[in-house]
Structure 1
């Protein structure tokens, strides 16, 4: 079963939302990955910088003549701070090793001596990771100490626990992930709004198409039924064909005019065409509409004073015709003919009937498309209001004290 155009538009909107969100999510994930990797590298570099500061400073404080002298080391504040360090012979001529006064992470002395031995043998600085006695991941730096002859005689090994940096990195990762989730959600919402705006013209065009079809069916239903009745009467009563033919022609012309007006309305709503404003004698236009409308046994009276307005005559004619047809159809008591009185004065067309009236609490519903309160044709009145508003006028309705509904269609009066 094929989906409706509205369903396809909704699916398109969700598809655009998903595409927009996915594209931004991929970019955010890549950016988050870069930020997390960079933060991990920066943590490693911060520890390495601290270890370098300790080993380079301590190596300058060690005095080596005949023996190794740690007097300057023991008085320096580095001996009491983290990272901790150790000065070890590393397999050379023995001397009493020196361990810094503060133990920041528990380390096996044999492991430290092994690191010192590696730096002495290789005559180069060593850096990497080892495991503390408590299972901690420890970053180390082993720097050889050289005598005046350039021969390594010991090594400074500095170590620091990577736990605090890893904890800080974990918090940063959680913060980045949480931020990405929030941003993806915000971007998804923004994408949904933007996709809605992007398909709004298509939705508006679809709505206009549906309205056009509904209005066409509404306005053509009555003349088509009358045309069929005339044709059936002419077939069964050949002697009346001469009288029925002119009425048939008028109905066909009316149907053509309705179709033309609806097409103009559609083009105006789509912005393809503009209203054709021109000076119009409203009283003469209303009289013409009444004369061209088949009363079907109803009593229609017109009281008109000369009134000139700037308007599109075709649209105003249609609006007045809708009000008149509405009154003829609904403005009657059961079993009685309709009685309609039309007044034209001061740019206002007033159509009063003697029907059951209209529920004033449902007045706005009567002006909505595709709705009817039982006392009016909802779609016809929506067209009338659209014509009024497009001319800068208004349409209002209320009940008369003696019964019946009164519709007032107002247009700005022409100054000329």
Structure 2
């Protein structure tokens, strides 16, 4: 099975982390939403039960029994204001007693008398309050409370049944459920977005490290391309011309040393980027360093001249060698007219290295972009100038690009004195 690219695995990991974060938080939100819905439902029932309890307890106190014959008297009930209010109620038979049923004057809910009578009978037979949601007929669900009462002999003979319309409360509860569910959906979306941002932030160090690793490989390959080609050319020349080996061997050793310097500078850059190392700053004669780089770089027939004045700077010499080598390679490859050899002139003075060529120059519109990674005007990898600018920046210097009046591009690398 072909392994997935590291970048793709990081993207998949980010999605997995986002999904896990969202799922965990969504589960918590659903649980608390369920608790909130249950609490609201119980609160609704308790409110209806409280209204019904107020009615039944009041009516129980208002009913009396005739001392002469023990008959139930509801006259005081009819004169109390509770008789004209909601919840409605009824005083119904339910046990051994026999008395006329009494219904409150206000019809708040259309309730089937047979259903209410059954509730009263159950409450009286069991001798305890009965309550709950009941279909009182016609598909109407009401909250009822049946509170039994006794005659003077202590026998349960009936019950007061209070009926509250549960419809409005159920509608309000349903609206509350929709509100909670809608809020959950919005919160889950917000959690998913937050999870995506958090996972992106968590993955970013690994992604940056992966990008730095890729940059290291790309730039190393870029910097080693020319020295390797030159080393191969020297080796082939030495094999074909044994009499020149004594002359070519020192150049070969020098190129190998330069390749080692490039690799070491790349490792230094990687350690610097990771915060594991500091620049190896030392006092360097810039003119001598540039002259050595030019001497080690094969010109392949191009004309390369150097005008240098003594210039001492404090820099990391391996990184500066690399930057100057990249500027020279860039001028040799791109600083020439079609079908002509490159003409390059390098000036060193006052901590400033100026590389001028006689090529077509640089379009001012893309001059700044040429110093970005993988941006080039001629199909190359576009790493050389970005490396040069990086070297300048870590030393507190600058890299500028502009065109000469007589034609050609000028690259100016400046280090602080």
TM (normalized to structure 2)?
0.91
Query: Following the alignment from structure 2 to structure 1, what is the Cα–Cα distance between the partners of residues 134 and 65?
Result: 29
CA distance 1:259–1:107, shift in 2 (3 Å): same
How far did 1:405 drift?
0.7
* Corresponding residue number in structure 2 for 1:354: 358
Superposition map of 1:133-172 within 5 A? 133-172=137-176
Secondary structure of the equivalent of 2:301?
Answer: coil
Which residue number corresponds to residue 31 of structure 1? 32
Asked whether the 8 Å contact 2:116–2:136 carries over to 1, the reply is: no
Kindly indicate whether residue 390 of structure 2 is the aligned counterpart of residue 389 of structure 1: no
Query: Paired residue for 1:126?
Result: 130
Residues 345-369 of structure 1 deviation map (CA, whole Å, 9 limit, x = unaligned)? 4443222111111222222332222
* Alpha-carbon shift at residue 147 of structure 1 (Å): 4.2
2:382 to 373, 378, 382: 378
Q: Which residue number corresponds to residue 47 of structure 2?
A: 46
| Structure 2: runs of 5 or more not aligned | none
Alpha-carbon distance in structure 2 between the residues aligned to 1:344 and 1:140: 101
Query: 1:142–1:234: structure 2 CA closer, same or farther, 3 Å change rule?
Result: same
Partner of 2:408: 404
Question: In the alignment, is the contact (CA less than 8 A) between 1:330 and 1:375 conserved in 2?
Answer: no
Separation (CA, whole Å) in 2 of partners of 1:159 and 1:3: 69
Select between 89-98 and 269-278 the one with higher mean Cα deviation: 89-98
Counterpart Cα distance in 2 of 1:387 and 1:371: 17
Q: Where do residues 116-265 of structure 1 align in structure 2 (5 Å cutoff)?
A: 116-265=120-269
Tell me how far apart the structure 2 counterparts of residues 398 and 317 of structure 1 sit (CA, whole Å): 22
- 2:222–2:381 CA contact under 8 A, matched in 1: no
What is the alpha-carbon distance in structure 2 between the residues aligned to residue 54 and residue 307 of structure 1? Answer: 105
Point out 4+ residue stretches in structure 1 off by more than 6 angstroms.
none
| Alpha-carbon spacing, 1:69–1:218, altered in 2? closer, same or farther (3 Å) | same
Q: CA deviation at 1:78?
A: 2.3
Query: 2 CA distance for matches of 1:314 and 1:277?
Result: 10
- Structure 1 376/221 Cα, relative in aligned 2: closer, same or farther at 3 Å? closer
How far residue 222 of structure 1 moved from its aligned partner, in angstroms, is 1.0
* Cα distance between partner residues in 2 of 1:55 and 1:306: 110
Residue segments in structure 1 that go unaligned for 5+ positions in a row = none
Report how many residues are paired: 413
CA contact (8 A) 1:82 1:104 kept: yes
Partners in 2 of 1:314 and 1:412 — Cα distance? 17
Q: What is the alpha-carbon root mean square deviation over aligned residues?
A: 2.3
After superposition, residues 282-297 of structure 1 pair within 5 angstroms as: 282-297=286-301
Residue 377 of structure 1, CA deviation:
6.0
Judging changes above 3 Å, is the alpha-carbon distance between structure 1 residues 285 and 116 closer, same or farther for their aligned structure 2 residues? same
Q: Which residue in the other structure is 2:373 paired with?
A: 369
- Pick from 318, 322, 335 the counterpart of residue 322 of structure 2: 318
Check the 8 A contact 1:367/1:385 in 2, yes or no: yes
SS at match of 1:409: strand
Any conservation in 2 of the 1:366–1:377 contact (CA below 8 Å)? no
